[in-house]
């Protein structure tokens, strides 16, 4: 029987990631620079950040701030005792593998940290950042014996460069491409992304829509707003994106699953009142048939403590996956997710094993 897939883990970007940034080329002067402040400033224990193109990332203090776990030289990160810093950074792969063994996990799928709430207006800089990130992750994952897999960072502001990077990363072993709920100031249903979706379908790279927004200087109140996932979901469904690009798979990562009933209800009401598109036939009054997720190749992560029997009525047992948020310490962290899931008495063991082991293998090309 296949082992557990932790479908949402993270790397904490470190200085090692930028060592080969742009290989000394045009963008090298714009490389991320690590800055550490004294511990007695308003930044407190989150006293480290990246200086990129004259801006600080993450912005951990002040107006519109939103702290992240990178850089790892911050006091807050240095004092952590839960996970060895090298495992968080993917600079100590053997220790990360040991953590996986200790938690009963076979495979990790890894997402970024810095880019969750970080967007760049300079296309050339974005390309260089994405290439550096992807190259580092490919090398780190290659040392894992096939147990750790990365989701690539696509330079979405530049369609041609994005497609070229997708092709490169597919060769390097990437198992998905990182999207946020809004990209380049556009809805995910915008035709701007169609060439990218077409190439993703051809390559078999799923579109992994992770919690976050790529809007520089956006208010922190918007950053983790669950309403954004509903908007992204509706953009993909009402735009019939999976029909336009057969074989394209889409995942909604680190939002939990309780947003789904509300989103479907909202789409149904819009269909009743004014929307008469093809989706309305899938969303009859009171209908909770999960056929939409099956037909559209859509998957989503759930939490181990959510009311899964209720959610399964909407999503079905083949389209739920789960992740621990490994490396992060926030509301999404579930260190004991394997134990929690297998101890549930309200979900059959067969469904639990699908969520833990099988469904992620059908979403990601593992």
CATH number of 5-11+84-363: 3.20.20.140
Is-above-0.85 flag for pTM? yes
SS3 for the chain is CCCCEEEEEECCCCHHHHCCHHHHCCCHHHCCEEEECCCCCCCCCCCEEEEECCEEECCCCCCCCCCCCCCCCCHHHHCCCCCCHHHHHCCCHHHHHHHHHHCCCCEEEEECCHHHHCCCCCHHHHHHHHHHHHHHHHHHHHCCCCCEEECECCCCCCHHHHHHHHHHHHHHCCCCEEECCCECCECCCCHHHHHHHHHHHHHCCCEEEECCCCCCCCCHHHHCCCHHHHHHHHHHHHCCHHHHCCCCCEEEECCCCCHHHHHHHHHHHHHHHCCCCHHHHHCCCCCCCCHHHHHHCEEEEECCCCCHHHHHHHHCCCCEEECCCCCCCCCCCCCCHHHHHHCCCCCCHHHHHHHHHHHHHHHCCC
pLDDT for the residue 285: 43
From first to last of its 366 residues, what are the pLDDT tens digits of the chain?
789 999 999 999 999 999 989 887 899 999 999 999 998 988 889 999 999 999 888 888 777 677 888 999 999 999 999 999 999 999 999 999 999 999 999 999 999 999 998 888 899 999 999 999 999 999 999 999 999 999 999 999 999 999 999 999 999 999 999 999 989 889 999 999 999 999 999 999 999 999 987 765 555 545 555 558 999 999 999 899 999 999 999 999 999 999 999 988 887 776 654 434 455 555 544 445 688 899 999 999 999 999 999 999 999 999 999 999 999 988 888 989 999 999 999 999 999 999 999 999 999 999
Give residue limits of the domains in the chain.
Answer: 5-11+84-363
Find out whether 9 and 324 touch, Cβ atoms under 8 Å: yes
């Amino acid at each position: 029987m296949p082992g557990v897939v932790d479908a949402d883990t993270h790397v904490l970007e470190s200085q090692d990631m930028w060592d080969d940034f742009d290989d000394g080329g045009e963008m090298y002067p714009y490389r991320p620079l690590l800055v550490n402040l004294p511990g007695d400033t308003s930044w407190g224990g989150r006293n480290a950040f990246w200086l990129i193109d004259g801006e600080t990332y993450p912005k951990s203090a002040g107006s519109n701030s939103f702290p992240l776990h990178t850089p790892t030289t911050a006091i807050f990160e240095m004092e952590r005792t839960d996970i060895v810093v090298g495992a968080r950074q993917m600079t100590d792969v053997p220790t990360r593998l040991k953590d996986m063994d200790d938690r009963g996990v076979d495979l990790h799928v890894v997402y970024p940290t810095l880019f969750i709430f970080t967007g760049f207006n300079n296309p050339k800089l974005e390309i260089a950042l994405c290439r550096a990130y992807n190259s580092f992750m490919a090398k780190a994952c290659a040392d894992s014996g096939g147990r750790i897999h990365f989701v690539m960072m696509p330079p979405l502001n530049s369609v041609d460069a994005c497609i070229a990077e997708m092709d490169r990363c597919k060769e390097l072993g990437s198992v998905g491409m990182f999207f946020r709920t809004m990209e380049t100031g556009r809805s995910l249903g915008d035709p701007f992304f169609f060439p990218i979706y077409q190439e993703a379908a051809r390559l078999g790279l799923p579109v992994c829509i992770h919690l976050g927004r790529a809007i520089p200087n956006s208010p922190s109140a918007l950053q983790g707003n669950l309403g954004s996932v509903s908007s992204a979901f509706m953009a993909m469904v009402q735009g019939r994106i999976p029909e336009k690009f057969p074989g394209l798979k889409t995942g909604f990562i680190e939002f939990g699953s309780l947003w789904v009933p509300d989103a479907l209800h909202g789409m149904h009401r819009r269909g009743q009142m004014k929307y008469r598109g093809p989706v309305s036939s899938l969303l009859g009054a009171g209908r909770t048939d999960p056929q939409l997720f099956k037909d559209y190749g859509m998957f989503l992560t759930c939490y181990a403590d959510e009311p899964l029997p209720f959610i399964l009525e909407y999503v079905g047992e083949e389209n739920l996956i789960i992740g621990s948020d490994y490396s992060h310490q926030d509301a999404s962290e579930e260190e004991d997710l394997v134990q929690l899931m297998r101890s549930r008495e309200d979900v059959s063991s067969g469904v639990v094993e699908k969520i833990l082991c099988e469904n992620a293998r059908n979403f990601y090309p593992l």
